[in-house]
């Protein structure tokens, strides 16, 4: 009758020694060599502590219905300037020829957040005026929720010029997030939730656009219009208004942020254990060889048997 193995188990021997012995010193050295080098290797491989991470989020963007429009004409001393800032509008009211302003935001995927802005301005130029350059500032309320609760007032700037007198100007662009600093992983962040264009100030230097743009560029977190596709159309009849039409998309963003403590530890633990396993296997073989061959003196104890 054929016989086959139905169960097997390993015999486990124990090697004993006193505290003050070569065997104890050997085990201590092996323990140190098993635990410390994997830590050093993981750390020096520049993947142990993660200092930054990314995630995807659809920002909650709202057009604040605040804008500043500057149209340069062939009459340099008579530009067209339109704005929603009341104090500033009173100063430049003789240059304000904007007759109609239309804007709407749409949520195409019905997720509760707007996906794009449609903005249009009609400017009634004088008969002897012709538009040659457009500078448009649009103000947005920009929010993020997934990690930290981040909110800021941001800017979208459109600028275009042509040697030919224009009939209308159309542009399609994306409002993209620009980061010079990592966002926090928790809490409320309103560091940049302040006016970008301070047009209500009584001091003349506050109306300096280079100064305003310079201060905005210093921000660690801001927005900019990218992937812009401008179209300058010529041939405007004398009695027709000059039209500016902009379509601004709010795409999903890749956000850079500083990971929290537990996320750092979770990643570090994986890096450390993956190297530690190799060292444990290698030094376990070394210990087995040393004690089985009695290269270091120890007491070999046979396994005791259980009574069944």
What pLDDT shows up at residue 44? 84
Q: What is the extent of the structural domain holding 43? A: 14-50+264-301
Q: Is 65 helix (H, G, I), strand (E, B) or coil?
A: strand
- Is residue 20 located within the same domain as residue 96? no
Q: Is residue 3 part of a domain?
A: no
Last residue of a domain, one of 257, 276, 293: 257
- Is residue 128 located within the same domain as residue 206? yes
DSSP state of 241: P
Q: pLDDT grade, residue 127 (50/70/90)? A: confident
Whether residue 73 has pLDDT greater than 50: yes
- Is residue 220 located within the same domain as residue 270? no
- Is residue 126 located within the same domain as residue 44? no
Q: How many domains does the chain have?
A: 2
Q: Is residue 171 part of a domain?
A: yes
- Is residue 116 located within the same domain as residue 63? yes
* pTM greater than 0.75: yes
Report d(CA 74, CA 26) in Å as an integer.
90
- Is residue 174 located within the same domain as residue 211? yes
Q: What is the 3-state secondary structure (H, E, C) of 125-191?
A: CCCCCCEEEEEEEEEEEEEECCCCEEEEEEEEEEEEEEEEEEEEEEEEEEEEEEECCCECCCCEECC
- Is residue 28 located within the same domain as residue 154? no
- In tens, the pLDDT along 192-204 reads 998 887 766 545 5
- In tens, the pLDDT along 259-308 reads 988 888 888 888 899 999 999 999 999 998 888 888 888 888 876 655 44
Report d(CA 140, CA 24) in Å as an integer.
69
| Lowest-pLDDT choice from 76-80, 89-93, 188-192, 273-277 | 89-93
């Amino acid at each position: 009758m054929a016989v086959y193995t139905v169960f097997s188990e390993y015999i486990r021997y124990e090697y004993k020694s006193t505290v003050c012995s070569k065997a104890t010193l050997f085990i201590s050295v092996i323990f140190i060599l098993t635990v410390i080098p994997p830590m050093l290797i993981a750390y020096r491989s520049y993947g142990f502590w993660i200092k930054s991470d990314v995630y995807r989020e659809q920002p909650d963007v709202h057009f604040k219905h605040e804008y500043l429009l500057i149209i340069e004409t062939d009459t340099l001393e008579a530009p067209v300037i339109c704005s929603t800032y009341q104090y500033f509008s009173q100063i430049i009211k003789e240059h304000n020829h904007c007759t109609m302003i239309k804007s709407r935001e749409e949520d195409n995927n019905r997720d509760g957040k707007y996906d794009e802005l449609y903005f249009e301005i009609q400017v009634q130029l004088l008969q002897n005026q012709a538009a040659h350059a457009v500078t448009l500032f649009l103000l947005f309320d920009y929010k993020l929720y997934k990690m930290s609760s981040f909110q800021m007032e941001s800017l979208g700037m459109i600028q275009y010029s042509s040697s030919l007198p224009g009939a209308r100007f159309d542009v399609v662009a994306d409002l993209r997030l620009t980061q010079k600093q990592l966002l926090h992983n928790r809490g409320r962040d309103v560091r940049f939730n302040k006016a970008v264009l301070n047009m209500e100030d009584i001091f003349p230097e506050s109306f300096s656009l280079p100064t305003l743009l310079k201060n905005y560029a210093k921000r660690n977190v801001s927005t900019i219009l990218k992937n812009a596709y401008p179209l300058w159309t010529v041939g405007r009849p004398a009695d027709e208004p000059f039209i500016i039409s902009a379509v601004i998309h709010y795409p999903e963003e890749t956000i850079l942020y500083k990971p929290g403590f537990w996320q750092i530890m979770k990643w570090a633990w994986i890096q450390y254990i993956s190297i530690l396993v190799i060292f444990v296997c290698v030094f376990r073989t070394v210990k087995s060889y040393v004690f089985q061959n009695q290269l270091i003196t120890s007491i070999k104890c046979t396994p005791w048997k259980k009574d069944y």
